[in-house]
Structure 1
Amino acid sequence: MDFASSLEFWARSAPERIAVANVHEELTFLELALRAQAFSQQLQDVEEARVGICTSDPVTMAVGFFASVLADKSLAILDPAWPSELFLRLSQQLGVRSVISEVPLAEETGSLMVQLDPPKVRPDNPLLPLTQHLASRELLVICTSGSTGLPKAIVRTQDSWQQSIHAGAALLGAVPSAVTICPGPVSHGLSLYALVESIVTGGTMIATGRFNLSSLIELAELYACTRLVSVPTIIDRVCREVQHSSLASLRTVVSGGEPLQQDTVDRLFSLPSVESCVEYYGSSEHSLIAYRHRHAREEPGKTFKGTLFPGVEVHIHDQSPNAGFGSLFVDSPFIATGYDAGTAVQIDRCGTSTGIGDQGRISHRGQLELQGRGGSMFNIHGNNIHPKEITLAFGEIGLPGVRVDAEVRDGRTLLVAYAVLGHAALEELADQLARKLPTYKIPHELVLLSSWPTTASGKSLVHGYRNYEELVVKRVALR
């Protein structure tokens, strides 16, 4: 079924079932359908084809998403963590003049935008038949971390996500009986997809909107969550910091973004009821690509090796003659249209296939093995972070040549910037970076070195700077 038909089906067949909830509010399927129906009438009055949404609230996101579907509007996802300068720049680039938000927009942006707040409705209002628009229409613009210093705006059709959910939901445990908890940022692709997937399949989505451990524990206990969807760094923290009794109902764990560490998998299977751990590989540009099941006390190797989702085909460009790795190109009904025409970035194409720099190879059994992405990217607490984006921001404020690394300290993954001692005004760095980058992309610390460490052959090191304490001149806390 299409999105509108799915929402109407569950609103009529299971009206009292909880569709989405956060710490402060919950909506049944009937309440969600009624609120989306009422809000869609307001969205139809917006002149522009695109409407923005800027929220950390999963309830607002659910209402805004389905209201935009019913109103035949494309929904541009704007990250609440963006600084005002970036928010305005992206909004203007995408042609967005009206923004859905349940909280007031920042003063410097609010005067240039029309704010839309989803209305409350009476539960006894009549639910009218929900109208579905063309499947080929533009559904979403999702902005993901880019290596150019500006997020990449990815455009996708409604049909691409409908087919992706249809192909992957059962494999990922998204079934009507599932009570899914998703503790990551709801404005990011993985959490947003999980939200829509859960509602469309008739399950219950419980979300914190952004990572908050106490909220996660409260919700997991209150709703007896059976399914966890997140990224490895957050899943690992859940395993380490949440008591087993709070996760007594958890049966299925779904992980995306990068491979889980084996000790995290072992901890998952030590929980009372966990039966399945599914790890999947995908991207905002391609949606679902491949998946694998993880098991306790296994030796999975250092790379991801998985089975392609139904409907996905891949091929390799520039394959190395020895190892067989090369540039991965993906073709499926799930792939995005491309990047927004207002950006200078173009997606790599080969016929109907597209590539984004992932390196992979195909085994003789037809499995996909991934080596990583050209131009390294970090995934920290559910946030994809391109080091180049941070390097460019430092350069713009007078400290060029900064190198960025992700380091684990006392069990926490920190973003650390390194530079050779320069002449930048260090006391102003944090404020200047806050005007350039979202908070989660600002390094926790800047470490100034007397010189770059080198290898025995004299080449400059790319990573591992923390091992050269003798070169450290000064440490500057940035957040």
Structure 2
Amino acid sequence: MPLASAIMLHAGERPHAPAFRMEGRVFTFGELAAAAGHILYAIEQSALHATGHSVLSGRVRLIALETGNHPLFAAAFIAAASGGNCAALIDPHQPASTRRRMTEKLRPEIVIRADGDLLQLDVPSAGQTHALEAFDGSSPIRVGDRAEPFLVVFTSGTTGEPKAIIRDRRSWRLSLETGRNFFGIGPETTTYAPGPLAHGLALYALVESLAAGAEFIGARHFQPRQALEVIGGADAKRLVLVPTMLRRLCEQAEGAALTSVEKITVAGAKLTPADRSAAASTFPTAEVTEYYGASELGFITVAGADDRHAATAVGKAFPGVRLAVLDDHGNSLSPGETGTIFVESALISDGYIPGCDGVGFRRQGRLATVGDLGFLDEDGTLHLIGRAGGMVLSGGNNIYPSEVEAAIMSAAGVSAVLVFGLDHPDLGSELAAVIQPNVGTFEREALERHLAAALPRYKHPRKIWFCREMPMTASGKIAAGQLRQWIAEGNGVLERLF
């Protein structure tokens, strides 16, 4: 069912049921539908002043949302994605210069930004700004055509410059239907997902929750202690997290068990055996499901409790997805042979908007890839080795940091790790790692023995630093740029191991 239809259905049948909660502010489905109608009216009235078309060339009206995790985000998203509109999500935590380039690339008719607890609507082509409360009216939320552009999200480019990916309504509707059946989401599945709503993981959790008639609970900022209070107070049934968030929740719980949680969905990185053990202790009644995907491709694989959890294994094909591993000439490889991972799926995006570098996502007939490398087992389990663009060439050897990270994460005493290449005058690059240890002592000799058993010598990091608290991005991932800067500066927050 289209999102617009679902919202109006729930608003009509269950108007007082909670739909969206952010920082203590709760919208029922009736209130959410009313707020979305008000914002849509403001969009339509503001757009009358626009003097130019967006990068979509007038196919639909492009509405950029730069609100971040705001109490009015859900209503603004529903309005911005209403039929005839396409929502583009810009993370306000990006540097101002990056956000400016993103906006210049998109040329949206309207940009919606936070104004305290309210919103403002900018019309860039007309140089106008309007406060939401200046508009007194409402427009009906409309269902868009299946082939209509619906959503633009940004992913990192090969140079770190974000690239804009566009999706039509058909792929998202199919994804929501497939995901609802697979994950078992219903009106009772209260979901807590504290990640940035400008990113795919939390955004998808929001939309699938609202479509199912379930309450979605977000957070402006992830704080483990506060998160545990919200989860317990709301009797949240499902958590949608990146691994670092799950680890911090388990650490904060300090052995206490939360029994309301029935499902935990994890993506963005791989869980370690220690993560699964901690989750089983903190959330003893929860089924933990990991999925591997890409903004350009949608769901790729999924792994549950009964699947293999080897260091590089990321599960088996998601329902409706076919996997293929090809060599550089496009030939299928046998099980165990590493090549480029391709996907055939109805969930694949339309690719990048004009003006992006185009590197990464590419099609080969009905197949598509983002350049990830891996291999398939005989039983269909996919192993992720790394991404072609992330390879480190050291002393003539090709090394994929994700493989080394997986090996280090399986060592005792490791809470988080980042592996990358540093320039070296002789080797070209040398492998380096920053490790966040668990509380307690860390034995260098034990790590060396572990690496010797897990990896060939040339894949061992030549330099390792300790970081007691990894810097994190807004999406809950390790801030690689910050770590590189600290290394270059010789910042004392890093402790050299060897």
> TM-score under structure 2 normalisation?
0.73
Give the whole-Å Cα distance in 2 for the aligned partners of 1:403 and 1:169: 45
Question: How does 1:37-186 map onto structure 2 within 5 Å?
Answer: 37-45=37-45, 46=47, 47=50, 48=53, 49-70=61-82, 72-103=84-115, 130-186=141-197
Report the equivalent of 2:240.
229
Aligned match for 2:251, one of 219, 240, 261? 240
TM-superposed deviation, 1:209: 3.3
Moved more, 283-292 or 165-174: 165-174
Moved more, 201-210 or 357-366: 357-366
Post-superposition Cα deviations, 1:431-466, rounded to whole Å, max 9, x if no partner, equal: xxx9xxx9955414522499xxxxxxxxxxxxx994
Aligned match for 2:435, one of 387, 408, 420? 408
Report the equivalent of 2:482.
443
TM-superposed deviation, 1:147: 2.2
Give the whole-Å Cα distance in 2 for the aligned partners of 1:387 and 1:43: 44
TM-superposed deviation, 1:410: 4.0
TM-superposed deviation, 1:368: 3.1
Give the whole-Å Cα distance in 2 for the aligned partners of 1:44 and 1:121: 10
1:371 is paired with a residue whose SS is: strand
Report the equivalent of 1:307.
316
1:339 is paired with a residue whose SS is: coil
> 5+ residue gaps in structure 2?
54-60, 391-400, 406-417, 440-460, 464-472
Report the equivalent of 2:388.
374
Post-superposition Cα deviations, 1:228-248, rounded to whole Å, max 9, x if no partner, equal: 101111111111113565733
Contact 1:179-1:205 at 8 Å conserved across structures: yes
1:100 is paired with a residue whose SS is: strand
Post-superposition Cα deviations, 1:201-228, rounded to whole Å, max 9, x if no partner, equal: 1111111133222431332233111111
Asked if 1:317 is matched to 2:317, the reply is no
Report the equivalent of 1:337.
350
Amino acid in structure 2 at the alignment position of 1:283:
A
> 5+ residue gaps in structure 1?
380-384, 393-400, 413-417, 421-433, 451-463, 469-479
Contact 1:141-1:155 at 8 Å conserved across structures: yes
Report the equivalent of 1:473.
none
Paired residue total: 410
TM-superposed deviation, 1:265: 0.8
Contact 1:339-1:345 at 8 Å conserved across structures: yes
Give the whole-Å Cα distance in 1 for the aligned partners of 2:429 and 2:35: 48
Report the equivalent of 2:363.
349
Q: CA RMSD in A?
A: 3.7
Describe the shift of the 1:115–1:237 C-alpha distance in structure 2 as closer, same or farther (beyond 3 A).
farther
Amino acid in structure 2 at the alignment position of 1:446:
W
Describe the shift of the 1:440–1:258 C-alpha distance in structure 2 as closer, same or farther (beyond 3 A).
closer
Give the whole-Å Cα distance in 1 for the aligned partners of 2:376 and 2:292: 14
1:408 is paired with a residue whose SS is: strand
Amino acid in structure 1 at the alignment position of 2:11:
A
Give the whole-Å Cα distance in 1 for the aligned partners of 2:284 and 2:272: 20
Amino acid in structure 1 at the alignment position of 2:344:
D
Amino acid in structure 1 at the alignment position of 2:181:
A
Describe the shift of the 1:247–1:447 C-alpha distance in structure 2 as closer, same or farther (beyond 3 A).
same
Sequence identity (%):
27
2:91 is paired with a residue whose SS is: coil
Describe the shift of the 1:175–1:111 C-alpha distance in structure 2 as closer, same or farther (beyond 3 A).
closer
Give the whole-Å Cα distance in 1 for the aligned partners of 2:107 and 2:377: 44
Give the whole-Å Cα distance in 1 for the aligned partners of 2:134 and 2:214: 22
TM-superposed deviation, 1:52: 0.9
Post-superposition Cα deviations, 1:337-381, rounded to whole Å, max 9, x if no partner, equal: 0011121224211013211011233333344333332233889xx
Report the equivalent of 1:277.
288
Aligned match for 1:264, one of 264, 269, 275? 275
Report the equivalent of 1:14.
14
Asked if 1:255 is matched to 2:263, the reply is no
Give the whole-Å Cα distance in 1 for the aligned partners of 2:180 and 2:347: 13
1:9 is paired with a residue whose SS is: helix
TM-superposed deviation, 1:84: 1.3
Describe the shift of the 1:140–1:322 C-alpha distance in structure 2 as closer, same or farther (beyond 3 A).
closer
Contact 1:69-1:132 at 8 Å conserved across structures: no
> TM-score under structure 1 normalisation?
0.76
TM-superposed deviation, 1:256: 0.6
TM-superposed deviation, 1:387: 6.9
2:40 is paired with a residue whose SS is: helix
TM-superposed deviation, 1:404: 9.2
1:375 is paired with a residue whose SS is: helix
Moved more, 368-377 or 206-215: 368-377
Contact 1:52-1:76 at 8 Å conserved across structures: yes
Contact 2:111-2:123 at 8 Å conserved across structures: no
Give the whole-Å Cα distance in 2 for the aligned partners of 1:330 and 1:439: 27
TM-superposed deviation, 1:129: 6.2
